[in-house]
Structure 1
Amino acid sequence: MSHLSPALYATLAEIVPDMYVHCADPWCVIGSTAALLAGAQTSAADVDVLTSRADAAVLTTQWASRHEPAFAPGDSDRFRSHFARFRFPAAVEIMGALEFRAGDRWQAVSPGRLVLVGVNGMAVPVPSIDDQVRLLHSFGREKDLQRAEALRALVPAAFTMPVLVSH
């Protein structure tokens, strides 16, 4: 795993136990922090968490004193969700039932297969490397494509054996 900044580490230490207690549905960290946790050489300034719509509402109530209601996410023409941003050492952005625009329709974001990454005894769910690459490519932004490439660099090329053909 790449190095976590003190702010990211402190934030994960605070939110992960809360997520396990208060979320009824599966959840996971996505975006730059997920890539960093998978070992990619990248940076992360915030923690993006994919949840169900219901769990996003629960967390908004649970973390009400940290809520930043005036914050509006960018790319609202490209993404929509039950969104909330919270003040922790690193900002936390909850995206309940996240969807992205695929052509002229909205498509639900599916994290795919989740893996658990250990952070000082905490199990943090993130999409598998292949699923992170798929998600980042579907988002299509330049920063996402760069993260996808950093993740691809982690996966060794498949071993190939020359095939001999005899006649």
Structure 2
Amino acid sequence: MSHLSPALYATLADVVPDLHVHCVDPWCLIGSAAALVLGAEVSVADVDVLTSRADADTLMQVWAPQREPAFAPPDDDRFRSHFARFRFPGAPVEVMGGLELRLDDRWQPVVPGKLVLAGVNGLAVPVPCIDDQLRLLESFGREKDRRRAAALRALQVPVFPLPVVSSR
């Protein structure tokens, strides 16, 4: 995909095959990388991978040499998961096993919804569909998520709207 930077493409080329091999449960990208692979104009600082807790454990073993043990995720009062951050050429990868979001003083599971496969130069990359990405980003409630949601909404607007004319 021409809108992916070479660095991001290198990261996805490294991790997506491992995710397909080592994850038993459904997984997907979320956040900026998910929006970008569907065509949204967003910047990507890292690749967020939503997995089950068990698959997060597996990835922590498989990717142990790349793990950043001292990294603590921000917003731990708003999000919690079985978390690990890994250093890959191109961009860091953050694995969130069993991600939960604190809403109305309760922890609620983050459910990605309907997944679609985005093709990235021969790689099948699961991401939530646009409507479900919008739902997730809006529930996260941060300014950066509102910007990503706006970029995804722009994909839903026809580039060349046709005027509606009456035949009467």
- TM-score, normalised on structure 2? 0.92
- The CA deviation at 1:151 is 0.2
User: Which residue of 1 is the match for residue 98 of structure 2?
Assistant: 97
Deviations for 1:17-72, whole angstroms, at most 9, x for unmatched residues?
00010000000000000010111111101100000000000000000000001000
- Secondary structure of the residue aligned to 2:127 is strand
- The CA deviation at 1:103 is 1.5
- Secondary structure of the residue aligned to 2:155 is coil
Q: Is this contact kept in 2: 1:114–1:127, CA < 8 A?
A: yes
Q: Is this contact kept in 2: 1:67–1:87, CA < 8 A?
A: yes
User: Which residue of 2 is the match for residue 86 of structure 1?
Assistant: 86
- The CA deviation at 1:3 is 1.2
- The CA deviation at 1:156 is 2.7
- Secondary structure of the residue aligned to 2:94 is strand
User: Which residue of 2 is the match for residue 71 of structure 1?
Assistant: 71
- The CA deviation at 1:5 is 1.3
- The CA deviation at 1:123 is 0.3
Distance 2:24 2:62 in 1: 14
- Secondary structure of the residue aligned to 2:41 is coil
User: Which residue of 2 is the match for residue 141 of structure 1?
Assistant: 142
User: Which residue of 2 is the match for residue 131 of structure 1?
Assistant: 132
- Secondary structure of the residue aligned to 2:16 is helix
Task: State which drifts further: 150-159 or 4-13.
Answer: 150-159
User: Which residue of 1 is the match for residue 17 of structure 2?
Assistant: 17
Distance 1:78 1:161 in 2: 45
- Secondary structure of the residue aligned to 1:88 is coil
- TM-score, normalised on structure 1? 0.93
User: Which residue of 1 is the match for residue 109 of structure 2?
Assistant: 108
- Listed as ranges, the gaps of 5+ residues in structure 2 are none
Distance 2:75 2:116 in 1: 28
- The CA deviation at 1:159 is 8.9
Q: Is this contact kept in 2: 1:2–1:41, CA < 8 A?
A: no
Q: For residues 159 and 128 of structure 1, do their structure 2 counterparts lie closer, same or farther at Cα, with a shift above 3 Å needed? A: farther
User: Which residue of 2 is the match for residue 5 of structure 1?
Assistant: 5
Between the two proteins, the alignment pairs up a number of residues equal to 163
Deviations for 1:110-148, whole angstroms, at most 9, x for unmatched residues?
000000000110000000000000000000000001100
- Secondary structure of the residue aligned to 1:153 is helix
